[in-house]
Amino acid sequence: MVNRVMILGSINVDSIYQVTRFPQPGETIAVKQKSYAPGGKGANQAVAAARSGAKVSFVGAVGADNDGQEMVKTLAENNVDTSRIAVDPDNGTGSAVITVDENGQNDIMVYGGANQAMSVAQLNDLEQELAGTDFIVAQLETPQEVTLAAFKLARQQNVITILNPAPATELLPELLEYTDIIIPNETESSLLTGISVNDEPSMLQNAKFFKAHGIKNTIITLGEQGVFYVTADGHHGLVPAFKVNPVDTTAAGDTFIGALSSQLSPNLGNFESAITYAQRASSLAVQGMGAMPSIPLAEEVEKALG
């Protein structure tokens, strides 16, 4: 069965600077290499889901510029339905400046542009598409008010809602009530709950916090430590990471979430196997440069899983 996944999210063009190390405040350093790549958390997650076999549609916005045209074209070439991507005449296509050091670590500066100018009006008639959808996935690079409205429509259609609270910021309380699965990394989870993530008891406390606010399923990504999950019935576990030598970790989380949405059963009965697949996809992505270009195809993931 092919999962039908709707992504509500950001579309960016990434400028990537490779450096030996990050500069100190006020310091000028040399850049070893500069490149451009399609990106944005939403776009990355959509491509990850599509490359792992899901039928993917996208709700988002780009500017009336060349970057916007190229991004829509890139998504379409990756088998993503782009019919609900709006063209904003007043704001430019989103962009990000990404600095990557020799250890594969990165820091990122993002210009929201058309992503942040999205409005609830863009969701007109969305319920018709949601009626044939298994999952809707959103992040925090587009307005929370738009995500909340979409999640409310999804709930009416019994569509599973997945929230990736990145970049971490204060959430609308009502948005939590309409989220079925939350997928933060350990830093984002700690910021949202006020509970440091450092061991299993603290992760269970984080999941308890989210459940108290309406979210029944929690998945916390822990980088090289793996992924911790807690399901609605209280089942929990740690799925270890695959050990690799990372080149660029930019797309790690987005690849994980997109791949997970392609594999997770709509009845949520296969958390561990879906997480294992998504972990393997993420481990392949961090071994290549650039966000979207490094996202693997399903056959590559299956081969790596053996």
pLDDT at 162: 98
What is the predicted pLDDT for the residue at 250?
Answer: 80
Residue 28 labelled as part of a binding site? no
Please report the DSSP string for 266-295 in residue order: TT---HHHHHHHHHHHHHHHTTSSSSGGGP
Task: Name the average pLDDT for the chain.
Answer: 95
Task: State yes or no: cis peptide before 293, omega within 30 of 0.
Answer: no
Domains identified in the chain and CATH numbers = 4-11+40-93+111-305 (3.40.1190.20)
Q: How far is residue 211 from each of residues 61, 95, 181, 218, 280, measured CA to CA in Å?
A: 32, 34, 10, 8, 28
73 is in an annotated binding site: no
Beta bridge partners of 88: 63
**pLDDT on residue 289:** 80
For residue 250, say whether it is annotated as part of any ligand binding site: yes
Q: How many residues does the chain have?
A: 306
Q: What is the DSSP letter of 79?
A: T
> Can you give the pLDDT at residue 2?
97
Position 290 scores a pLDDT of: 77
What's the predicted TM-score (pTM) here? 0.93
Strand ranges (E), the chain: 4-8, 12-18, 33-39, 55-63, 80-88, 94-100, 106-111, 135-138, 160-163, 181-182, 217-221, 227-230, 236-239
Annotated catalytic residue, options 67, 81, 88, 254: 254
pLDDT at residue number 101? 92
Give the model's pLDDT for residue 55. 98
Secondary structure (3-state) at 114: helix
pLDDT for res 283: 95
Q: What is the pLDDT, as a whole number, of residue 181?
A: 98
Residues with pLDDT less than 50, the chain = none
Whether 81 is a known active-site residue: answer no
- Ligand-binding site membership of 233 (annotated): no
Look at residue 180 in the predicted model and tell me its pLDDT.
98
Give the three-class secondary structure for 86: strand
For residue 6, what pLDDT is reported? 98
Interacting residues of 134 by C-beta distance below 8 A, sequence separation 6+: 3, 4, 5, 159, 160, 266
Q: Is 132 annotated as a binding residue?
A: no
Looking at residue 143, its pLDDT comes to 98
pLDDT at 256: 97
pLDDT recorded at residue 264: 98
Amino acid identity of residue 218, one-letter, is T
Q: What is the largest CA-CA distance in the chain?
A: 54
Of 235, 227, 236, residue with least CA distance to 277: 227
